[in-house]
Amino acid sequence: MTDVARLAGVSHQTVSRVLNGHPNVREQTRNRVRAAISELGYRPNRAAKALVTGRSQVLGVVAQNSTLYGPASLLVAFENAAAEAGFTVSVGNVSVLDRHSIGRAVEQHLDQRVAGIVVIAPVASANEALDHLPADVPLVTIDGDPARPAALVTVDQAAGAREATKFLLAAGHSTVWHVSGPSDWFDAIGRIEGWRAALTEAGAEIPPVMAADWTAASGYRAGQMLARMPDVTAVFAANDHLALGILRAMSERGRRVPEDVSVVGFDDVPEAAYFIPPLTTIRPDFEAVARTTLGMLLGQIESGSSTSTRHTIAPELVVRDSVAGPGQR
Amino acid sequence: MTDVARLAGVSHQTVSRVLNGHPNVREQTRNRVRAAISELGYRPNRAAKALVTGRSQVLGVVAQNSTLYGPASLLVAFENAAAEAGFTVSVGNVSVLDRHSIGRAVEQHLDQRVAGIVVIAPVASANEALDHLPADVPLVTIDGDPARPAALVTVDQAAGAREATKFLLAAGHSTVWHVSGPSDWFDAIGRIEGWRAALTEAGAEIPPVMAADWTAASGYRAGQMLARMPDVTAVFAANDHLALGILRAMSERGRRVPEDVSVVGFDDVPEAAYFIPPLTTIRPDFEAVARTTLGMLLGQIESGSSTSTRHTIAPELVVRDSVAGPGQR
DNA sequence: TTCGGCGATGTGATCGATAACATGTGCCGG
DNA sequence: CCGGCACATGTTATCGATCACATCGCCGAA
């Protein structure tokens, strides 16, 4: 930086002003400095800037280390959004979302002087950790507890589940079964709620929830039970991989989809259109979630105050071939 | 740090020595300093350290922004391995792997004074960029060009493809068709080579390569063509999602898998066991790739010299139900 | 005419760590 | 009994930026 200043015939402070777009610099001076910068191939040292300002141009993300489609897509979408805004993303993967792990990951980020932190906290166990975090750092939660008063962005799980269920009911089914995600996930809870609400509104009978985790394996197991109950004609699976397992179980027991049983999933994984049959599902807009999260975070960073705004992103129904009326049998 | 020094009754330099495990500190002094540190809840400022040493405890990863299973798993595995070694990972996502984008991402990482960089460079277009990178920074490439003399870790694509093809031949098929990935991906090229080698060794006829991208959609299109050729009895798909599309195309045209047509995939995505039928596939060991990469990177960081070692990780055949002999029809 | 004020720029202190060198002990061998 | 050396520790400079404040013209209003 000193070299640049010398070449441009100004002080290091003026170079700093040009770099940071400070208004009070003469056009001519600004140009001289710019020329010197590009001639020397000068690149500012972020570490020095971080040291003096106490903040870096890095955003920290704490996420459960997983290749689950939802969280992974969210992460990628957020990385993109952040890159566009000129931020780098530092990922603090964590194997369990408990208080200790999250706390450690957050502190590690604070050591690096990140400008803000995003916690992808889809499970109940993350709550306690979030309650004990320092309040003065910009922080936004994705998929966290809707009941917590904190800055939060989520997909509207209940609305999506409701739409899926209503779509099945509208096709003529008298009720809809549900294979749910793990009960400690807010996503799973929200989807159960939406499903139940749609059934209640329609005055339909509410079958017991079939608990599963998010894997195709557990969907398959649930599907094996559903397949042997002849009165089951419609199933709403809490995600597409569960649906995949269900499709296979149905196929093995000779129950055709959608002629005998209709199935709707959630997530719209890229392969969903190529399941047998192509899966009708709910598509959450991960990019919108990422953009919104980034916006809130940047807002907090600029204002210096942490808000408790809540944003909910409505998902969208994608109709394919896995739903038909019960009469088709 | 000054506060800690005062409380412990020593100089800040001694505190620094304790922090960095310097040997020449008396046991008793060391304990006093440790006590002061924990009493004050002191946490060192990484930015300051990075400023003075010129290196941070951060590793940069440049990857194509995608939710493709392979790259995404690799990234997660690497983040875990790095976290275990006490490093944070900063991800520089890039939408296209061309010279300009990679260059920019790398420079951004250098601005942050990362300790080392990993480039996940599975396509040919990344080569040019890699040739023009500064040579003095520790850098390891994953899935890069096997022909480039650089530090590189890859899955042994050819060996996996060969194993898959041999398995199909061993089941009694006279030849094996191949639906490949995009021709600018080294992974795709390696898999084609392995497939071709296995056919050549067995003296089997070599059918034309069916070009596709990695998506289920393109697998479906290829599958539609394969399904109408009655002499096609065995297909090796370059990844599991392609295989999924093929399975659906076969199912639509009434060709049963595995009775009429056998299919093998590549990747072993978690859902592969729940395709219809469960997919026989090749499982690459992403964790081994990540561990090896990290090891090489740390080696370079410590030694200060950049090596050109190459490591290849052999994948493994996972047998399920999508392969049978041609006689079964 | 004069002085307040603002715009453009420079000067020195500062962030929090490490590096290089200096200092002060105590022990050993000659 | 003393020089010298290893060990423990302290002092000061340094990394590369920003911040707070000082300075210097210059313009317009009293």
Cα B108 to its chain centre, rounded Å, is: 22
Residue A106: pLDDT above 50?
yes
User: Which tens digits make up the pLDDT trace of B258-312?
Assistant: 999 999 999 999 999 999 999 999 999 999 999 999 999 999 988 777 777 899 9
Å between A78 CA and nearest CA of chain B: 10
**CB of B40 lies under 7 Å from some atom of strand C:** no
Mean pLDDT of A159-169: 98
Largest Cα–Cα distance in chain B? 86
Residue with tokens 């021709």: B183
Could you report the per-residue pLDDT of A19-38, keeping only the tens digit for each?
988 888 899 999 999 999 99
Which residues of chain B have a CB within 8 Å of the CB of A112? 46-47, 56, 58, 88
Buried/exposed A130-143: b ≥16 CB within 10 Å, e otherwise = beebeeebbbbbbb
> Is the pLDDT reported for residue B329 higher than 50?
no
CA angle, B97 as apex, A286 and B300 as ends, to 5°?
Answer: 105
B54: helix, strand or coil? coil
State the nearest Cα–Cα gap between B310 and chain A, in angstroms.
27
pLDDT in tens, A282-329: 999 999 999 999 999 999 888 777 777 899 999 999 999 999 998 654
Residue nearest to nucleotide C6 (CA to C1'): A24
Contacts of A241 in chain B (CB under 8 A): 270-271, 274
- The answer to whether A76 and B67 are in contact (CB under 8 A) is yes
CB proximity A254 to B under 8 Å = no
**Residue B194 near residue B161 (C-beta atoms within 8 A):** yes
Which residue from B160, B156, B152 is spatially nearest to B126, judged by alpha carbons? B152
**Chain D bases under 7 Å from protein CB?**
7-12, 14-20
| Rounded CA separation B312/B292 (Å) | 9
Q: What angle do CA A189, A195, A200 make, to 5 degrees?
A: 120
Contact by Cβ (8 Å): A140, A300: yes
pLDDT of residue B66: 76
Amino acid at A262: S
Confidence of residue B328 (pLDDT cuts 50, 70, 90): low
- Nearest nt (C1') to A27 (CA)? C8
Amino acid type, B131: D
Is the model more confident about A71 or about A226? A226
Average pLDDT over residues B189-208: 97
Picking from B240, B180, B189, B239, the residue whose alpha carbon sits closest to that of residue B212 is: B180
Whether the CB of A46 is below 8 Å from some CB of chain B: the reply is yes
- Return the structure tokens found at A268: 């719209």
Is B76 near chain A, with CB under 8 Å? yes
Strand C-proximal residues of B, range 212-241, CB below 7 A, are none
Average pLDDT of the residues of chain B: 92
Least confident of A136-150, A162-176, A264-278, B223-237: A136-150
Whether residues A47 and B56 touch (CB distance < 8 A) is answered with yes
Question: Which A residues, 206 through 225, put their C-beta within 8 Å of a C-beta on chain B?
Answer: 215-217, 219-220
A52 is near strand C: CB distance < 7 Å: yes
Among the listed residues A200, A191, A109, the one whose alpha carbon sits nearest the alpha carbon of residue A146: A191
Are B289 and B155 spatial neighbours (Cβ–Cβ below 8 Å)?
yes
**pLDDT-based confidence at residue A130 (cuts at 50, 70, 90):** confident
Q: Check CB contact under 8 Å for A248 and B274.
A: yes
Residues 139-158 of B with CB under 8 A from A: none
At A190-236, the pLDDT tens digits run 999 999 999 999 999 999 999 999 999 999 999 999 999 999 999 99
CB contact under 8 A, B113 and A46: yes
- Average pLDDT of chain A is 92
pLDDT at A329: 47
The Å distance, CA of B14 to C1' of D10, is 9
Give the closest-approach CA distance of A65 to chain B in angstroms: 7
Q: Position of tokens 């939802």?
A: A70
Question: What value does the mean pLDDT take over residues A152-170?
Answer: 97
What is the side-by-side order of every strand in the sheet holding B58-64? A310-313, A152-155, A139-142, A116-120, A58-64, A88-94, B88-94, B58-64, B116-120, B139-142, B152-155, B310-313
Angle at A117 between CA A113 and CA A123, to 5 degrees: 140
What angle, 0 to 180 degrees and rounded to 10, lies between the N-to-C axes of helices B69-84 and A69-84?
Answer: 80
> What's the whole-model pTM score?
0.89
Quick check: A14 CB within 7 A of strand C? yes
Q: Are B176 and B195 a contacting pair, CB within 8 Å?
A: yes
Question: What's the rounded Cα separation, in Å, for the pair A14 and A4?
Answer: 10
Asked if B179 has any chain A CB less than 8 Å from its own CB, the reply is: no
User: Residue for token digits 């393109």?
Assistant: B218
| CA distance linking residue A314 with residue B5, whole number of Å | 54
> Percentage of chain B surpassing pLDDT 70?
99
**What does DSSP assign to residue B102?**
H
What's the CA gap between A164 and A169, in Å, rounded? 9
Which DSSP symbol is given to B207?
P
d(CA B104, CA B92): 9
Report the pLDDT averaged over residues B79-101.
Answer: 87
Query: For B17-56, how does the pLDDT look when each residue is reduced to its tens digit (9 = 90+)?
Result: 999 888 888 999 999 999 999 999 899 999 999 999 888 8
Query: Which residue of chain A has the CA closest to B240?
Result: A271
B271 to A244: CB separation less than 8 angstroms, yes or no: yes
* Interatomic CA distance for residues A229 and A37, integer angstroms: 74
Contacts B69 to A, Cβ<8 Å: 67
Could you count the other beta carbons within 10 Å of the beta carbon of residue A218?
A: 20
Q: Is the pLDDT of residue B131 over 60?
A: yes
Other CB atoms within 10 A of residue B309 CB: 14
- Measured from the Cβ of residue B183, the count of other Cβ atoms closer than 10 Å reads 14
CB-based contact A220:B274 (threshold 8 Å): yes
